[in-house]
Chains A and B, each alone.
Chain A
């Protein structure tokens, strides 16, 4: 393609917008190394907010809670979403359609409604608010991600592979583990990754369904930011940012290796 003036302009546009999205993030990182408690002045480089952060045992507990919560909801979503997508694939029943539609509802509506509904229902049921209520609520909005990803993958999948295997005498169980599962695995993993991130990040729903004793990291940050700006949060944000970036780059890298292996295998054939 020729590099026209218009083409250059579009690149400049994308570059500017991308840089802008990173401005608040970069500022957070810069100020996390600020000696001063005020984010309006720069008093020189310091690691003291990181030191303070590591001493804050509440934050560690919140982090652990967040990991347990995101991990469990993500695992439950993998089971429910994958079996659901597999079971409903290729059937045209009205009940299936209704349930599938209903299962997508949690991510189609404003989050606050979901949080409000669960608070009302759990208090009606007299369920103690805490990790259990958090996991139930989070699983409801994690399932749709896994379900939709796997479903989309199944729709785009060539039926011929499974049919060929069946014709060659493989049992349905073997077909599932040897053909279907490897084909849908990327969809399961990306759905799981998305739902983990969504759960790990959630404030709105968590605020409603958590108990007085259980804090997740986003709730902790939210209350801290609301009560006043502390430089500790800058440090925490920086650490979370680095972890996210590493995870994503890592996932992209693994993907690359996977693609390479596949193409190598293809060549061998």
Chain B
């Protein structure tokens, strides 16, 4: 009997080995190799007219450390921090409360969150342009209420970009916290309440630590993309707010300087990697909660 099942295991393993072929080939060819190329590219020179000159240089990295580009990195990080903090403050209670609703409402709320989540980000941002533009909806409301006298010109300002970021990334946080809070055994909270803890204390000593993995993965899921969403800065910030993403895009298209864009990407990748590593150390797992 034991032998038989062993033989079966070997057979299964053989079948399995062939099954991994597609993901091996695809990933190595279209994810692995491109990133090796990116790394190499960042040490090359741009050609005079178009393309890449295959000579080694450190010039690209030196250029990043000029005040202008360091400033772009600082701006991007600042925006990412600001949006992530706002998203956490708004999204954590939302996801937590949602997980405490009854089954039917949970389903309804999920649907309500997913509908905007699944519509094009551009379309959703476009709605904010209508809200923010000079003499737009927000100006009209504020002026109608007598709070302001003339149009505020909110479009193409920093707050507009932050709102855009929050709007685009909030669902990630909500879903991450929700999936973590859903698994929370509420009897633990009730037990601590029975033992005399105030609801505030019960939350901070029981619920919060147990939903922390969701919160942390929500932070990663909002922080990382927010450094690269150049079109939000583009559409809501005009040309005033230049993020690393915008610089990369410009260097790839108008600037025609692929190696420099590659160097910027490598630095951004290292930043991303550091954030993920930090997450791994704090959360003790590399798995992200929420959409997975």
Q: A121 at the A/B interface (Cβ < 8 Å)?
A: yes
Choose the segment among B62-70, B142-150, B204-212, B230-238 that binds chain A (4+ C-beta atoms closer than 8 Å): B230-238
Given the known inter-chain contacts A24-B128, A91-B13, please indicate yes or no for A221 contacting B122, CB distance below 8 A.
yes
Given A204-B231, A237-B126, A248-B114, check contact A13 B31 (CB 8 Å): no
Is the beta-carbon distance between B268 and A110 smaller than 8 angstroms? yes
Since A109-B228, A221-B122 are in contact, a sample of 10 more A-B pairs with Cβ atoms closer than 8 Å, ordered by chain A residue number, is: A6-B199, A27-B131, A84-B19, A112-B245, A119-B252, A120-B38, A120-B252, A197-B118, A221-B126, A249-B111
Contact of A27 among B93, B127, B292 (CB under 8 A): B127
The chain A residue with its CB closest to the CB of B98 is A14
Interface pair B126/A208, CB less than 8 Å apart: no
A241 touches B123 (CB 8 A): yes
Within the assembled complex, what's the spacing in Å between the Cα atoms of A139 and B34?
Answer: 14
Chain A positions within 8 Å of B18 at CB level: 87
Residue tally, chain B, CB below 8 Å to A: 86
Residues of B near A152 (CB, < 8 A) are 292
Query: Taking the nearest CB of chain B, how far is it from the CB of A153, in angstroms?
Result: 11
Tell me whether A28 is interfacial, beta carbon within 8 Å.
yes
Question: A250 to chain B: closest CB distance in Å?
Answer: 11
Closest to A20 in B: B167
User: Is A22 an interface residue when CB atoms closer than 8 A count as contact?
Assistant: yes
Contact pick for A116, options B133, B170, B248, CB 8 Å: B248
The answer to whether B97 and A10 touch across the interface, beta carbons within 8 angstroms, is: yes
Number of interface residues of A (CB under 8 A): 86
In chain A between 12 and 44, which residues have their CB closer than 8 angstroms to a CB of chain B?
Answer: 13-14, 17-18, 21-25, 27-28, 31, 39-40
Of B93, B118, B124, which is in contact with the most chain A CB atoms at under 10 Å from its CB? Answer: B118
User: Which residues in A have their C-beta under 8 angstroms from that of B292?
Assistant: 148-149, 152
**Shortest Cβ distance from residue B165 to the other chain A in the assembled complex, whole angstroms:** 13
A88 at the interface (CB under 8 A from B): yes
Interface string of A172-204 (1 = CB under 8 A from B): 100000000000000000000010010011011
Q: Which of B114-168 contact A (CB under 8 A)?
A: 114-116, 118-131, 133, 135-137, 140, 167
Contact mask B155-195 → A, CB, 8 Å, 1/0?
A: 00000000000010010000000000000000000000000
Beyond A28-B123, A91-B13, A111-B228, whether A140 also contacts B199 by CB under 8 A is no
* CB of A123 closer than 8 Å to a CB of B: yes
Q: How far is the CA of A240 from the CA of B121 in the complex (A)?
A: 12
Question: Any chain A CB within 8 A of the CB of B57?
Answer: no
A83 lies within 8 A of chain B by Cβ: yes
Q: Are B291 and A201 in contact (CB under 8 A)?
A: no
Considering only CB atoms, which chain A residue lies closest to B186 in the complex?
Answer: A1
Give A207 to B23 CA distance when docked, in angstroms.
Answer: 26
Complex CA gap A117/B28 in Å reads 14
Interface pair A105/B13, CB less than 8 Å apart: no
Q: B38's contact among A13, A110, A117, A166, by CB below 8 Å, is which?
A: A117
Of B11, B17, B23, B224, the residue contacting A81 (CB under 8 A) is B23
CB contact under 8 A between A240 and B269, given known A80-B22, A113-B248: no
Question: What's the nearest-Cβ distance from chain B to residue A189, in Å?
Answer: 15
- A17 in contact with B116 (CB, 8 Å): no
| CB pair A80 B26 closer than 8 Å | yes
The 6 closest A-B pairs by CB, nearest first: A24-B127, A110-B228, A84-B23, A87-B19, A87-B20, A112-B228
Chain A residues near B119: list those with CB within 8 A.
25, 201, 237, 240-241, 244
Contact A117 B15 (CB under 8 A): no
B258: A residues at CB distance < 8 A:
119-120, 123
What 0/1 readout, one digit per residue, does chain A (96-116) give for beta carbons within 8 Å of chain B? 100110110110111111001
What CA separation (Å) do A204 and B125 show in the bound complex?
14
On whether the beta carbons of B224 and A108 are closer than 8 Å, the reply is yes
Interface window among A52-60, A225-233, A260-268 = A225-233
- Whether B11 lies near A140 (C-beta < 8 A) is no
Q: Nearest chain A CB to B245's CB is how many angstroms away?
A: 4
Residues of A within 8 A of B24 (CB): 99
B261 near A: Cβ within 8 Å? yes
Contact between A244 and B115, CB atoms less than 8 A apart: yes
Residue of A nearest to B259 (CB): A120
A269 to B: closest C-beta gap in Å:
23
Does B74 lie at the interface of the complex (its beta carbon under 8 Å from any beta carbon of A)? no
Given known A-B contacts A110-B228, A113-B248, A225 and B8 have beta carbons under 8 A apart: no
Report A234 CB to chain B, min CB distance, Å.
Answer: 8
- Contact residues in B for A197 (Cβ distance below 8 Å): 118
On whether the beta carbons of A237 and B123 are closer than 8 Å, the reply is: yes
Contacting residue for A102 out of B31, B51, B235, B261, CB 8 A: B31
Contact B34 A24 (CB under 8 A): no
In the bound assembly, the distance between CA atoms of A208 and B18 in angstroms comes to: 34
Q: Within 8 Å of chain A (Cβ to Cβ): is B72?
A: no
Interfacial chain B residues near A18, Cβ < 8 Å:
109, 112-113
Residues B1-21 near A (CB distance < 8 A):
8, 11-13, 15-21
